[in-house]
Structure 1
Amino acid sequence: MEKQLKRDAFFHYHFLSDVTYAPNGKRYAYIDAQADTEHNAYTRNLHIGVQGKTTPLTADGKVEAFIWDDKDTILFSAMRDEAIRKKVEAGEEWTSFYRISIKGGEAQPAFAVPLNVQKIEKVKKGVYLLMVLYDLNYSDMYACKEKAKGQLLKQKQDSRDYEVIDELPYTFNGMGYINKKRMSLFLYQESSGKLTRISDRNMAVSHTAWNDDHTLLYYSGYAYQTVKEDKEGIYAYDLTAKETSEIVAPHQYELYDLQVWNNQLFFAGTETKRYGLNENPWFYTVDGNKCVQLLAENENTLGSSVGSDCRLGAGRYALIIHDQYFYITTQNGDSCLYAMDKQGRQQKIAAYTGSIDCFDINQEDIIWVGMKEQQLQEIYHQQLNSSNMEQLTHIHAKMMQDVYTAKPQLIQFHRDGYDLQGWVLLPKGYDTKKQYPAILDIHGGPKTVYGEVFYHEMQVWANEGYFVCFMNPRGSDGRGNAFADIYGKYGTGDYEDLMMFTDEVLRAYPQIDEKRFGVTGGSYGGFMTNWIIGHTKRFAAAASQRSIANWIAFEHTSDIGPDFTKDQQRASTWENLEKLWFHSPLQYADQVVTPTLFIHSDEDYRCPLSEGQQMVSALMEHGVETRMVMFKGENHELSRSGKPLHRLRRLNEITDWMNHYLK
């Protein structure tokens, strides 16, 4: 008999990321993260693989990021030095790097940089490019003499209880308050410890790319002093002349990727003129006269947007090698790997039912971290000239053996000119002669997708006796720009898609007791949950997570509020206030009768805590059974990368709420 998947099973999952080949292509490295319930955190260790055989390279769980320094050596950042840790706790900025040989032995200190380094790239032996989170008020202490440094450090310590806001945006989800903070570029020379600033002091940098001989660095960014506008510029820094030139002026393209292709600049970007901020990028080249030329149109997203709560970390989603541009893209409910040649011709290289999360390529092989069908993350391999895929690792095979895993059952229907699809997970021990409760789970975005990948929370509910149903309504990713276009239409066609899907599920499975149907979702799914309970009484319970209640407030409190609201709702506080209020679930809160749980985090700057508070207050005023659980120290990513014990408490709260009203 199959065993039941426990709510806390994710404590034992391995979260894989950053898979990267060694320079000689014979070995690969990746980060393996796991829950550490004793410290309510995650360990992150380096692992080395040769084909399917993998071995841990570190064991203390403190690895933050890594690169290959040469074919036998890995350079990684970690907080291991007690003296430096105390300096950081006192307010100084330091990042420590270590080297470890893949042939064995302990990691050895390499160097420490007096800045908050977020990313490192090797330029040449002993020279590195650093992407630094730079505080314009205090990070200058790296270049100060001791007296001036002490004064600056004291000012920082004295200001710990205050936040000054004089820029927009002043927060960013996962980073907290970012007022006067910029992603800056520095060159670091290991032998001398010399740091050289590359980017303008006020510029926020996003992408970087090197020419073939590493003498010219391209980077994208936007310099601002008060309000950061959209659409970055592209710049080039000449390492020999130590001069910067503008290649593509700002305010033209939203950039998704920046590369150098045979010493010609290449980028993926969009002018946002057709479908707004979420418009999928086209592919461009820039010639020697700084003229931008369209290489290929593209109607699909760049990267994987297939949702799951079983990932932690990221990795490469695009790469130029062998005179081809390789990139991950999302199609329907799957993400796959494509290649494009210099003529703009594109072809699918690697694909299956599921997701490719990150990848790398050497001379002959592709390697990637992925989720195939209902498996947790594993590492896969395929030769470039073949379509035969090989699963290299079986990390989760033993722990998932004999555990009930519900296989998604496809539901297809046609509505309003669209062929729509969703899935149903059958409850453990399913008996066609019995009646069961059900949960409708709505994804975030809205420009993301559900697919046939392992989703822990859904599998838990199926294991606890629920039908679980989920779909990709209009507004979702994976089907081109036109399908994703619900700008100015939130809560209309997308809501109707979800309701018709629910009808189709009930028609296909009469074993579902329609009086015991619950609904939940996070972010856009939280917005839609709020919208649903104000527009129908068909659901017996709801759990709204990190939601949006009031677009007028959201415009001025979310880290993406001004741009996202105007773009998605085609309105603003001063331009069609009535439209913002029409699309706000709060307006319809007096119609709610559904018992509703609200989950929010106090450091969620994407869908701020106040959004949930408004709904809770409104429902209480109107006598609706409600409860709010606010997680301290968590942000918008609570369900995916929140602290392990917090993630379990969240899952318990939602499941227990549904059990109370649906069972």
Structure 2
Amino acid sequence: MNKQVSALEDYRLIEELSGGEYLADAGLFVWCRTAWDEQLQAGRSSILLKNLASGEEQMLTAGGTTETSPRFRPDGKSVSFLSNAEGGMQIWCTSLETGECRKITAVPGGVTSPLWSPDGRMMSFLSSPVKPPAPTYIDELYPAGTVKPVVIEDFGYKFDGAGFIQPGHTQLHTVDVETGEIICLTQGNWDALHPAWSPDGQELVYLSGQERGKEEALALDLFMVPARGGSSRRISSRDWAVSYPNPVNPVFTPDGKWVIMAFMDSSMVQDPGFSAGYPLCRLHRVAVDGSEDVDIFQTTEECFDCVAFPYFGGTAGCQEKMQVSEDGRFVYFISGWKGQCNIYRAAVYGEPKVELLSGGEQNYRGIGKPQNGRMLVARSDFSQLGNYFLMDVETGETGEPLTSANDFIKDRAISRPETMVFDTLDGRGKVQGWIIPPQNRAEGKKYPAVLYIHGGPHPFCPFALEYQYQCLAGRGFAVIYCNFRGSSSYGKEHLDLKLAYDGTAAYDCLQAVDEAVRRYEWIDRERIGVTGGSYGGYLTTYLAEKTERFRACAAQRAVYSELMQYASSDMQGSSAGYKNFEEFMVNCLKNSVVAYAEDIHVPFLILHGEEDYRCPVEGAHQMFTALKECHPDLPVEMILWPRLNHDIPRDIREKTEYLEYLIRWFEKYL
């Protein structure tokens, strides 16, 4: 008997797990679960505590609808978490002995990233101090209570998902959990990010670009600051510490003498012949006094990067992606390799040595602090959306999952992706891809297929269950996707960004379609569609213009105009390297897919958020107008989503509507 097919309504059943933490000595496990609440008609985030011996679970709450980031107090007697119970995300703490829940902070604007000090007397957190800006002439023109214009004087004045950046930066604070006294440890026209406590609790390390120019947008260094206040000092000496878009938190060795951190490979940043948008990253051991900065990473055949950037990855994650072993000899980290998100360990001292701890057709999304020979891991694969496990730090073996999220998957006709690897047409490499058959496929029947192109292009599609793809399969489509050149996890040459824009990636995608059609006779080669978001939306449009392979197209949050990107995106462009500004502008026009709209001759759908600052919505307007003018009779639709940034909607109702538009487009025109 056929199982029930995946449907968009299933998104109301999906649980997302985050913030998992394990306390070995007490046999306790705490995590955050976010799920759709029918009564609230919104997502609700809750904190759950589990006794691993008895299996008993209980909810910890301050009464909020969004409660996240649980942390055990070091003595194991209480759990802290963030809650919006009284407006704004504040730190609350529940005693595991009495059940009393009390509020620790009341900071205007809320807080993020709470961490306990080793002795449990203090907590650190990040927050943007709300201070009245210095009076300007604008205040004289627009008195209190009136709407003031936005005054812009420099680059970096907006960011996707945040809008126009308000005065103030994220600063590092500590709070005494008994008295409530708060100390602001950093200040200035820069952000403090990714803090960690020293083992003795006397200092904190954090990332900041305070000694870098604004032209070095991704450049961050390690700084140390006394926990009770004082001057910060820079301890890293050369490369850029990793933050956006692959955040990694620094970790101390147990003796407190060193900080382990991931840094971008400076040789790639400085190599004029390499055009990767995001360099490979390496592990460094940095002395807390700043006297040494040692590269401890070993590039191996199966590990050439110390971070992973999966395009999707399941629904469970830990707060950390890097940990130091209990004896301080090794550092554990997650890295991408041929679509896998594996756990490796590297030697902290001596000759650089990297070993695989756990890998294969699965996707790790976080690791907890090693305790008594085990550490918490978050993992997904092709059969489940994501759960927590305890892993043996020597063997990499895991037992039964600690959680049982999204068990409804067992009752769905999930189509397992089938891997295909092919030699590229230019003979310069291989490309890995997957084909998802239609759910409950009938023998002897032909089915349409959709090529789904990932964004970035730096991310990669992992060995993980992507439910959007399964919903397409549930509606009778095959789904084809691949890690074309420009994707990460396949080495330096495969990663080169120029290959994503010179037609190479387009050929890889076309070859993936041809390979799928060759291997699976049930695919109707005359009914192939293409879609993708961000870079994937750009390449969808490019393929629609350059080929006649596809019968219908749907571009999501795409880049259509390089001229729009130059000034309207939150990642502004640069005219450096051109003879003059006119030549730069002409080149932007030539490289814009909107300039070739007259070459599109198949039904074309545009899906875009009205508040997208990464790929500005003006580009979507321009593409729609160009298509309608060049092809008055061609089926073209533009669907704009209010309040939506560079993403698909998070609200379940809006998400299902969004995906329904996408699927129905292909049902209509394939």
Instruction: Name the TM-score, length of structure 1 as normaliser.
Output: 0.88
Deviation at 1:213, TM superposition (A): 0.6
Aligned to 1:562: 573
Partner of 1:158: helix, strand, or coil? coil
Q: Find 2:341's aligned residue among 335, 342, 345.
A: 335
2:513 pairs with 1:502: yes
Aligned twin of 2:171 = 184
The 3-state SS of whatever aligns with 2:11 is helix
Judging changes above 3 Å, is the alpha-carbon distance between structure 1 residues 56 and 352 closer, same or farther for their aligned structure 2 residues?
Answer: farther
Query: In the TM superposition, what is the alpha-carbon distance from 1:115 to its structure 2 partner?
Result: 4.7
- C-alpha distance in 2, partners of 1:40/1:632? 18
Give how far 1:132 is off: 0.9
Question: Match of 1:369, as an amino acid?
Answer: A
Alignment of 1:534-553 (within 5 A): 534-553=545-564
The alignment partner of 1:204 has SS state of: coil
Contact 2:196 2:249 in 1 (8 A): no
Rounded to whole Å, the distance in 2 between the matches of 1:570 and 1:539 is 36
Contact 1:14 1:395 (8 Å CA) reproduced: no
State the match for 1:441 in structure 2: 452
The amino acid that maps onto 2:161 is G
The corresponding residue for 1:452 is 463
Alpha-carbon shift at residue 499 of structure 1 (Å): 0.7
Mean Cα deviation higher: 392-401 or 315-324? 392-401
Distance 1:482 1:259 in 2: 30
Query: Which one of 64, 67, 72 corresponds to residue 68 of structure 1?
Result: 72
Per-residue deviation, residues 267-302 of structure 1 (Å, max 9, x unmatched): 211222245441111122234453433222446444
* Aligned partner letter, 1:273: Q
The CA deviation at 1:337 is: 1.1
Q: What is the rounded CA distance, in whole Å, between the counterparts of 2:115 and 2:448 in structure 1?
A: 52
- Residues 523 and 620 (structure 1 numbering): CA distance in 2 closer, same or farther, change over 3 Å? same
- Relative to structure 1, is the Cα distance of residues 21 and 405 closer, same or farther in structure 2, using a 3 angstrom cutoff? same
SS of equivalent to 1:561: coil
1:411 deviates by 1.8
Which region of structure 1 is more displaced relative to structure 2, 61-70 or 300-309?
300-309
SS at match of 1:326: strand
| Contact 1:442–1:520 (Cα < 8 Å) also in 2 | yes
* 2:420 alignment partner in structure 1: 411
Shift of 1:103: 5.4
SS of equivalent to 1:113: coil
Question: Which residue is equivalent to 1:633?
Answer: 643
Question: Is the 2:21–2:318 Cα contact (8 Å) retained in structure 1?
Answer: no
Q: Residue 332 of structure 2 corresponds to which residue in structure 1?
A: 326
CA distance in 2, matches of 1:460, 1:32: 23
CA distance in 2, matches of 1:326, 1:495: 36
Contact 2:195 2:206 survives alignment (8 Å):
yes
In structure 2, the CA distance between the partners of 1:359 and 1:49, relative to structure 1 (3 Å rule), is: farther
SS at match of 1:468: strand
Within a 5 Å distance, the mapping from 1:372-391 to structure 2 comes to: 372-391=381-400
Equivalent residue, structure 1, for 2:280? 280
Supply the distance in 2 between the matched residues of 1:570 and 1:449 (Cα, whole angstroms): 32
Please list, as runs of the form range in 1=range in 2, the aligned pairs for 1:481-496 lying within 5 A after superposition.
481-487=492-498, 489-496=500-507
Cα offset for 1:661? 0.6
The runs of 5 or more residues in structure 1 that have no matched partner are 86-93, 141-147
| Distance in structure 1 (CA, Å) of the matches to 2:26 and 2:550 | 54
- Aligned equivalent of 1:295: 296
Other-structure match for 1:77:
82
CA contact (8 A) 1:133 1:184 kept: yes
* 1:116 CA displacement: 2.6
8 Å Cα contact 1:208/1:259 also seen in 2: no
- 1:336-378: per-residue Cα shift (whole Å, max 9, x none)? 1111112331111122412111221322212222112221211
In structure 1, C-alpha distance between the alignment counterparts of 2:123 and 2:38, rounded to whole Å: 36
Which residue is 1:27 aligned to? Answer: 28
Partner residue in 1 for 2:128: 133
Decide which moves more: 604-613 or 464-473.
Answer: 604-613
Q: CA deviation at 1:134?
A: 3.8
Q: Which residue of 1 aligns with 2:92?
A: 98
How many angstroms apart in 1 are the aligned matches of 2:23 and 2:455? 36
Counterpart for residue 489 of structure 2? 478
Report if aligned partners of 1:369, 1:379 keep a CA contact under 8 Å in 2.
Answer: yes
Q: Are 1:232 and 2:220 matched, yes or no?
A: yes
Which of 28, 51, 60 aligns to 1:58? It is 60
Pick which of 244-253 and 228-237 moved more: 244-253
Q: Kindly indicate whether residue 315 of structure 2 is the aligned counterpart of residue 306 of structure 1.
A: no
Deviation at 1:397, TM superposition (A): 6.4
Change over 3 Å in CA distance of 1:461–1:282 after alignment to 2 = same
**Kept in 1: contact 2:316–2:378 (CA 8 A):** no
* Change in 2 beyond 3 A, CA 1:561/1:309: farther
For normalisation by structure 2, the TM-score amounts to: 0.87
Alignment root-mean-square deviation, CA? 3.0
Q: Distance in 2 between matches of 1:119 and 1:599?
A: 33
Please give the residue correspondences for 1:351-370 in structure 2 after superposition, counting only pairs within 5 Å: 351-360=359-368, 361-370=370-379
Cα distance in 1, alignment partners of residues 578 and 49 from structure 2: 49
Q: Which residue of 2 aligns with 1:7?
A: 8
* Of 124-133 and 249-258, the range deviating more from structure 2: 249-258
Across the two proteins, how many residue pairs are aligned to each other?
633
User: Does 2:269 align with 1:260?
Assistant: no
8 Å contact kept, 1:533–1:592: yes
Q: How far is 1:251 from its partner?
A: 7.9
Shift in Å, 1:310: 4.7
Structure 1 distance, partners of 2:346, 2:313, is: 31
1:309 and 1:456 in contact (8 A); partners too: no
Percent of pairs identical after alignment? 19
Compute the displacement of 1:513 (Å).
Answer: 1.8
- Mapping of residues 641-660 of structure 1, within 5 Å: 642-660=650-668
Q: 1:309 to 1:209 in 2, by over 3 A?
A: closer
Pairing 1:126-205 to 2, within 5 Å after superposition: 126-134=121-129, 137=132, 158=145, 162-205=149-192
Over residues 233-292 of structure 1, what are the superposed CA-to-partner deviations in whole Å (9 max), with x where a residue is unaligned? 332213467222233468865555433234123321122224544111112223445343
Structure 1 301/249 Cα, relative in aligned 2: closer, same or farther at 3 Å? closer
The one of 118, 122, 142 equivalent to 2:116 is 122
User: Per the alignment, in what secondary structure is the counterpart of residue 401 of structure 1?
Assistant: helix
The whole-number CA distance in structure 2 between the counterparts of 1:313 and 1:587 is: 42
Contact 2:457–2:500 (Cα < 8 Å) also in 1:
no
Once residues 430 and 49 of structure 2 are traced to their aligned partners in structure 1, the CA distance between those partners, rounded to angstroms, is: 44
Please state whether the residue corresponding to 1:47 is helix, strand or coil.
strand
- Which residue number corresponds to residue 197 of structure 2? 210
Is the Cα–Cα contact under 8 Å of residues 371 and 378 in structure 1 kept in the other structure? Answer: yes
Q: Supply the distance in 1 between the matched residues of 2:486 and 2:590 (Cα, whole angstroms).
A: 18
Q: Secondary structure at the match of 1:305?
A: coil
Q: Retained in 1: the 8 A contact 2:485–2:500? A: no
Answer 1 or 2: which has greater strand percent.
1
Look up the SS of the partner of 1:487 in the other structure: helix
Equivalent residue, structure 2, for 1:245: 233
Assess, with a 3 A threshold, how the Cα gap between structure 1 residues 170 and 616 changes in structure 2: closer, same or farther: same
Q: Does the 8 Å contact 2:241/2:261 carry over to 1?
A: no
The verdict on how the C-alpha distance between 1:189 and 1:107 changes in structure 2, with shifts beyond 3 A counting, is closer
Q: Does the aligned pair in 1 maintain the 2:46–2:67 contact within 8 Å?
A: yes
Alpha-carbon distance change, 496 to 134 in structure 1, aligned in 2, over 3 angstroms: farther
Deviation at 1:110, TM superposition (A): 3.6
Task: Return 59-68 or 607-616, whichever deviates more.
Answer: 59-68
Q: d(CA) in 1 for partners of 2:146 and 2:225?
A: 35
**CA offsets, 1:605-633, max 9 Å, x none?**
22222222221121111123211111112
Give the letter aligned to residue 307 of structure 1. Answer: Y
Deviation at 1:593, TM superposition (A): 1.0
Per-residue CA deviation, residues 197-256 of structure 1 (Å, 9 max, x unaligned), is: 222321212232332212122222123899463312332213467222233468865555
**CA 1:309–1:656 in 2, change beyond 3 Å: closer, same or farther?**
farther
Offset of 1:459 from its aligned partner?
Answer: 0.6
Q: Which residue of 2 aligns with 1:587?
A: 595
Q: Which consecutive unaligned segments of at least 5 residues does structure 2 have?
A: none
Q: Is the 8 A contact 1:222 1:228 kept in 2?
A: no
Q: CA deviation at 1:420?
A: 1.4
The code of the aligned residue for 1:318 comes to M
